Amino acid sequence: MRAKSILTLCDGPTCIYKNSRAIRDALETELKNQGLSDEVGIHISGCLGMCSKGPILIVNPGYTIYGGVTVQDIPEIVQEHLVRRRPVARLAVQEDHLYNRFFRIFGDVDFFGRQMRIALRNCGIIDPEKIDDYLSVRGYEALAKVLTAMSPREVIDEVKKSGLRGRGGAGFPTGLKWEFTARETGNEKYVICNADEGDPGAFMDRSAIEGDPHTVLEGIIIGGYAIGAAKGIVYIRAEYPLAIQRLEKAIAAARENGLLGKRILGSDFSFDMEIRLGAGAFVCGEETALIHSIEGRRGMPTPRPPYPSVKGLFGKPTLINNVETWANIPVIMLDGGEWFSTVGTETSKGTKVFALAGKVHNTGLIEVPMGTTLREIIYDIGGGIPNGKKFKAVQTGGPSGGCLPEEYLDTQIDYESLAAAGSIMGSGGMIVIDEDSCMVNLAKFFLEFTQDESCGKCTPCRGGTKRMLEILTRITEGNGKEGDIEKLERLGQMIKKASLCGLGQSAPNPVLSTLKNFRHEYEEHIFQKKCRAGICSALVTYEITEKCIGCGACRRVCPVNAISGKRQERHAINQETCIKCGQCFTTCKFDAIVKA
């Protein structure tokens, strides 16, 4: 019997974390109890990107989206929506920018509004563990086309025509990279998929693999054909067990179906793939370090040239691309490089996936055409800043990127514009910052990460980031000195220009960009010993204003007995005893305690 309704349940990491698997069990049980098992199909999808509203359950037809679903809600949804055909308004996600755009994409139009999904085109609409699902959305058609109708040269030309650039961060033209590797002689070459996603809070690659592993595989196989490699390796971090599991399944299914292995699809092209797990060092996302890690050596970068295209894995010509880059390849092959190049800006073609995070309504995963402005992403797709707070900055490019203030909000997303504004595209982290964040502290946070993840090989990165962090730490602790800003700039510029690899060359970016755009906050910290956001506890004092009614709640909660005062009289804080924990501030119901 044909299913009358399809329930799509998001199986992305956030939804799993929010108990979506128990919901699935409950749904199955409830449908069985109601005798609906035959007419209602349950469809498990990869990450839908709507993480802030998870767990997500979609009922079709009708595109009703339920967010924040709990196990207890299931009987009501089944009874009301599936039996009585009355959507449960209480649980439905309201009109929402992200949802709005997103589901028009998966509807029946090919103009997609502000979001546009190329790399993630199947995430959410197919079951990532079923190769048939992928085949039903023209999966492996690109591979078939390439193997039957295109020469390797033509494949490379198509990629060049598309204008696709590396999505890992640096934005090197993908077609050129392929060409360089292809023109190397020798019959042993490698293709590598870099899935060592390491930016804190980033999950673009993870979602792409979890949601649609076959797209990535197909891209890699096409790459192998184009450059003349017989072996592909996916280097993925061991912390991504679900992605690894789905990738393993996908590889096995592809092998079973003759899409990997000897004489693929009856052609002369043979290609196989394996997965190598990384232990999670951030630096292993750098291509030479990644190669050494696969070789079983310490993951440390080596100077380029020689580039991997000439001398890569085991000394052989190697093509390395990032997950998102690979995911674009099948579309380029099917719809043509020319079509692809119509999306985006003059120099940056196609779309870019971002992990939108921070102080914005709709956090989650988005894919937008290049050229979309930061403002559109933050206010239209992201739904703006919650709690009526003021926008302060947006940080792009993860720990290697920069912070852009309000005047850059109309900057278009593309490699050059972001660089010109003082940040980078990076691999797609985007964190929105409101007035409650201290920029010095934020820069310190990112630098803590990079200095900890520095491989320790080259002096500027190893020693320089450490010293910069020490200076930042003392500034946030109220011990900043005159000259510290200049030292940060001097070290930052040197580290940027002298470091061995991209990690070091970009590590000072968060500091340098905040120094450029928020220098006054540094100066306040150093000279006025003041943190305007009230984040740096050493620079904050709590005071009780005349709003105090003397309820005593703050006095009781203070862990060091720094607050005194009689009942129904204004209390006071002994500044010498106060440890600035902020307990009184959060406890006071009358806004009588202020940070200064």
String of DSSP letters for 496-564: HHH-SSHHHHHTTHHHHHHHHH-HHHHHIIIII---TTS-SGGG--EEE-TT-----HHHHH-TT--EE
- Binding residue for other proteins (CB under 8 A) from 363, 476, 499, 513? 499
Separation of alpha carbons 465 and 452, rounded Å: 9
Per CB under 8 A, the segment of 110-118, 208-216, 458-466, 550-558 that binds other proteins is 458-466
Nearer to other proteins, 257 or 473 (CB): 473
Residue ranges in 296-355 that form contacts with other proteins under rule CB under 8 A = 298, 300, 302-303, 305
Residue with tokens 């993630």: 120
Residues 193-252 contacting other proteins, CB under 8 A? none
CB 412 within 8 A of CB 448: no
Please, what is the minimum distance in Å from the beta carbon of residue 440 to other proteins?
18
Which is nearer to other proteins, 300 or 378 (by Cβ)?
Answer: 300
Is residue 104 at the binding interface for other proteins, with CB under 8 A as the rule? no
Between 249 and 474, CB nearer to other proteins: 474
Determine contact, residues 54/20, Cβ cutoff 8 Å.
yes
Q: 6 or 494, CB closer to other proteins?
A: 494
CA distances from 294 to 94, 119, 274, 278, 313 (A): 47, 26, 11, 8, 8
Cα separation, 466 vs 485, in Å, equals 15
Interface with other proteins, residue 420, by CB under 8 A: no
Q: Which of 115, 122, 322, 505 binds other proteins (CB under 8 A)?
A: 505
Q: How far is the CB of 302 from other proteins (least distance, A)?
A: 7
Considering only 60-68, 310-318, 375-383, 488-496, which stretch makes contact with other proteins by CB under 8 A?
A: 488-496
Could you tell me how far CA 571 lies from the centroid of its own chain?
46
Query: Tokens standing for 424?
Result: 């980078």
481 binds other proteins (CB under 8 A): no
- Smallest CA-to-CA distance from 291 within 306, 218, 263 is with 306
Extract the runs of DSSP E, i.e. beta strands, from 11-82.
40-45, 57-60, 64-66
Confirm or reject binding of residue 409 to other proteins (CB under 8 A): no
Using CB under 8 A, pick the residue from 24, 43, 53, 457 that binds other proteins: 457
Residue-wise DSSP of 126-186: S-TT-HHHHHHTTTTHHHHHHHHH--HHHHHHHHHHHT-B-TTTT--BHHHHHHHHHTS-S
Any contact of residue 455 with other proteins (CB under 8 A)?
Answer: yes
Distance CA 536, CA 367 (A): 35
Q: Shortest Cβ distance from residue 505 to other proteins (Å)?
A: 6
Choose the binding region for other proteins from 97-105, 192-200, 335-343, 485-493 (rule: CB under 8 A). 485-493
**CA 396 from centre of chain:** 10
User: Which member of 274, 470, 477, 523 binds other proteins (CB under 8 A)?
Assistant: 470
Contacts with other proteins: how many residues (CB under 8 A)?
Answer: 34
Q: Is 547 in the site for other proteins (CB under 8 A)?
A: no
Q: Are strands 563-564 and 572-573 parallel, antiparallel or unpaired?
A: antiparallel
- In the complex, minimum distance from the CB of residue 3 to other proteins, in angstroms, rounded to a whole number: 52
- At its nearest, how many Å lie between other proteins and the CB of residue 467? 4
List residues near other proteins by CB under 8 A.
Answer: 281, 283, 298, 300, 302-303, 305, 451-460, 462-467, 470, 487, 490-491, 494, 496-500, 505
